[in-house]
């Protein structure tokens, strides 16, 4: 599919200059009927919606949580009410465009044309639901606008709809989209367009979010009704058999999982030469291609380089036997890191006998790795040729604030980079199915686990999660399901929202942010790195780490607990103050400036 984001749209839908009408972006008096005359017009208009899909910047939502760190004011609760919000205004701008499309489709009188544009009605409904999802997950109830607004429309100064009204509106839009011909353009020729499974995936995500929010925040709504919708929607995808987990250990070994997130088509990005066409796990991708969009996904740099994994994240990975590392029977060897005197490579006990995803998602200290500069692999070099190239994780890292370097989405080729961002993938649907089943029923069967979580474990060679295993080892099934979600979806922007919907943010977020093990490790007595080019161990200046304190267990304290806050008001973000000023009927979320409480 070729994305054509057209300039003509701007002139057709110019915003009014009247200041009082800026907040919900009313349409002008121009009629869109002069534009929507043929099927190609509808497709051309719908193409712009695909630029609304989340991309690699979404990874930054993990920065707001406890598993990565970048000094975010949101993660430590020091942020204040903004005057404006690009999220708030941007979503309503996009909602206005989807409403224009839907109104135009409803106005089509020719039955043949109405039938042919049914697919674009489905797409418009999906993208309207997506924008309301972005608003509702952060702000809760917002004003529902389901039609184009004139400059005098009273809805411009309307009141907020309830949380339940908004989430039900989203789910209804998705159900209506499923009644259209959405997905009929999703073949090879139109690769990247919305499919029926993408509609179901968004429905599953929204329903799980609200079902657990209702359950743990005691809102009084029917949590099980939403959880059942999440089960049904995710289950339909799992049972449909259209998608399969990417598992090419036959040619990529343990690195198969890591290379899945960097697949390209135009250039070789893994030793086996596999491309995007060799995976069938991604349900909907934000497509990046030098050919299709004439630009590489530079956002990969942001997604990879700006996030520093925390001690909390690293300790979540199970040992190779499927036990938490704190379990008395765990085979976890500890945190010692040292350089092997023979191989001159790192021996990092923290990564030994662990879930292989810890090595796929994080660069091991004293190991060589590549990025898009200063040199990247062509996957044709010999080991000797690679000496002195790329980077060497020397136990610390200039790109990390915690000492841990993320590997997920880390490309090993030079720019331009054009791997896709997975908006929805099968793994998430498996996790939704497992969690919703457990939350609704208070338990989960081994058959349900085998249909979901254990398939994720199979592809990385981890033992199955079973009810007997949980009972034998005194584990908590809910905690293990949540652990699996956090590990599998690391750096995909879910953790912040998960802590809020589970209502555990008030417990987890005020805790100190810890980094790598320093005290009692080799770093404390002598900070060394192995210089690949010089082929010897050299001392380096370790002044960077002196700014951090060390806790009683020897871990670096990146942000002390005294600087970490979480209040009840933080479960919802504040509405921008200028919106409250323009619309006196608009109420603020509880606890923030402008609220009645």
Closest listed residue to residue 129, CA positions, set 166, 88, 86, 85: 166
Give, in degrees to the nearest 5, the angle at Cα 274 between 270 and 275.
Answer: 110
CA angle 4, 9, 10 (to 5 degrees): 120
CB 439 within 8 A of CB 214: no
Q: What confidence tens digit (pLDDT) does each residue in 15-66 have? A: 232 333 334 555 543 345 568 999 999 999 999 999 999 988 888 899 999 9
Q: How many CB atoms lie within 10 A of CB 542?
A: 15
Position 527 pLDDT exceeds 60? no
Residue, of 304 and 160, whose pLDDT is higher: 160
Q: What is the pLDDT of residues 223-280, one digit of tens each?
A: 999 999 999 999 999 999 999 999 999 999 999 999 999 999 888 999 999 999 999 9
Looking at residue 343, what is its pLDDT? 63
Establish how many alpha carbons lie within 13 A of residue 137's alpha carbon, considering only the half-sphere containing its beta carbon.
Answer: 24
> For residue 434, what is the DSSP state?
H
As given in the structure block, the two tokens for residue 292 are 């299709």
User: Average pLDDT, whole number, for the chain?
Assistant: 86
Separation of alpha carbons 120 and 207, rounded Å: 24
399-449 pLDDT, tens per residue?
Answer: 688 889 899 998 888 877 888 999 999 999 999 999 999 999 999 999 999
Cα–Cα distance for residue pair 494/489, rounded to 1 Å: 7
pTM of the model: 0.91
Residue whose structure tokens are 């791997």: 419
Residue position matching structure tokens 């039900």: 168
- For residue range 111-153, list pLDDT tens digits in order: 999 999 999 999 999 999 999 999 999 999 999 999 999 888 9
- What percent of the chain stands above pLDDT 70? 83
CA distance 285 to 1: 12
Identify the top-confidence range among 60-64, 325-329, 546-550.
Answer: 325-329
Does residue 89 have a pLDDT over 80? yes
Cα(213)–Cα(221) distance, integer angstroms = 10
The whole-number pLDDT of residue 187 equals 58
Domains, the chain = 8-53+80-240 (1.25.40.390), 299-419+511-563 (no CATH)
Residue with the bigger pLDDT between 246 and 557: it is 246
Residue 93 and residue 186: Cα distance in Å, rounded? 26
Average pLDDT of the residues in 80-106? 96
Distance from C-alpha of 317 to C-alpha of 358, rounded to nearest angstrom: 6
Alpha-carbon gap, residue 66 to 290, rounded angstroms? 35
Measured CA to CA in angstroms, residue 557 lies from 450, 513, 514 at distances of 39, 6, 5
Q: Which among 409, 405, 383 is positioned nearest to 394, based on CA atoms?
A: 405
Q: Phi and psi for 354 in degrees, rounded to 5?
A: -125, 170
**What is the structure's pLDDT at 391?**
83
More confident call, 16 vs 522: 522
pLDDT-based confidence at residue 8 (cuts at 50, 70, 90): very low
Residue 454 pLDDT > 90, yes or no?
A: yes
pLDDT surpassing 70 at residue 524: no
Residues composing the chain: 597
């Amino acid at each position: 599919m070729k994305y054509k984001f057209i300039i003509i749209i701007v002139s057709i839908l110019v915003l009014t200059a009247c200041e009082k009408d800026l907040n919900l972006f009313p349409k002008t008096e121009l009629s869109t009927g002069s534009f929507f005359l043929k099927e190609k017009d509808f497709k051309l208009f719908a193409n712009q919606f695909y630029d609304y899909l989340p991309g690699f910047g979404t990874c930054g939502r993990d920065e707001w949580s406890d598993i990565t760190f970048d000094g975010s004011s949101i993660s430590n609760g020091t942020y204040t009410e903004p005057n404006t919000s690009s999220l708030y205004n941007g979503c309503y701008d996009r909602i206005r465009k989807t409403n224009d499309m839907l109104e135009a489709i409803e106005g089509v009188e020719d039955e043949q044309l109405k039938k042919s544009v049914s697919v674009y009605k489905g797409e418009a409904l999906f993208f309207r639901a997506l924008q309301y999802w972005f608003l509702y997950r952060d702000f809760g109830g917002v004003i529902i606008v389901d039609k184009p607004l004139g400059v005098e429309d009273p809805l411009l100064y309307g009141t907020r709809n309830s949380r339940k009204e908004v989430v039900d509106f989203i789910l209804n839009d998705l159900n209506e989209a499923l009644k259209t011909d959405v997905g009929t353009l999703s073949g090879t020729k139109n690769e990247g367009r919305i499919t029926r499974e993408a509609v179901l995936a968004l429905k599953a995500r929204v329903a799980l979010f609200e079902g657990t929010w209702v359950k743990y925040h005691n809102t009084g709504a029917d949590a099980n009704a939403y959880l059942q919708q999440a089960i049904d929607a995710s289950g339909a995808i799992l049972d449909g058999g259209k998608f399969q987990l990417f598992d090419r250990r036959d040619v990529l070994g343990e690195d198969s999982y890591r290379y899945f997130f960097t697949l390209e088509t135009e250039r070789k990005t893994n030793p086996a030469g596999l491309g995007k066409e060799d995976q069938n796990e991604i349900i909907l991708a934000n497509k990046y291609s030098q050919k299709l969009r004439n630009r590489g996904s530079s956002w990969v740099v942001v997604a990879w380089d700006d996030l520093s994994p925390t001690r909390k994240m690293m300790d979540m990975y199970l040992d190779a036997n499927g036990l938490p590392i704190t379990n008395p029977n765990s085979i976890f060897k500890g945190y010692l890191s040292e350089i092997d005197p023979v191989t001159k490579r790192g021996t990092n006990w923290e990564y030994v006998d662990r879930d292989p995803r810890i090595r796929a998602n994080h660069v091991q200290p004293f190991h060589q790795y590549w990025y898009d500069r200063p040199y990247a692999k062509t996957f044709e070099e010999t080991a000797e040729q690679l000496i002195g190239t790329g980077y060497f994780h020397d136990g610390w890292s200039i790109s990390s604030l915690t000492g841990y370097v993320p590997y997920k989405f880390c490309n090993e080729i030079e720019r331009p980079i054009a791997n896709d961002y997975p908006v929805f993938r099968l793994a998430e649907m498996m996790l939704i199915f497992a969690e919703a089943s457990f939350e609704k029923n208070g338990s989960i069967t081994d058959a349900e686990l085998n249909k979901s979580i254990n398939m994720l474990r199979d592809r990385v060679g981890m033992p199955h999660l079973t009810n007997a295993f949980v009972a034998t080892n005194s584990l908590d099934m809910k905690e293990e399901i949540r652990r699996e979600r956090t590990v599998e979806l690391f750096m995909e922007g879910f953790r912040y929202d998960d802590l809020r919907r589970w209502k555990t943010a008030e417990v987890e977020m005020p805790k100190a942010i810890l980094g790598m093990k320093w005290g009692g490790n080799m770093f404390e007595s002598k900070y060394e790195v192995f210089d690949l080019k010089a082929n010897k161990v050299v001392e380096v200046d370790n002044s960077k780490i002196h700014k951090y304190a060390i806790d009683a267990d020897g871990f670096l304290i990146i942000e002390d607990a005294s600087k970490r806050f979480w209040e009840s008001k933080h479960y919802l973000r504040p509405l921008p103050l200028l919106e409250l000023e323009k619309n006196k009927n608009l109420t603020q979320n509880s606890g923030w400036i402008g609220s009645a409480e």
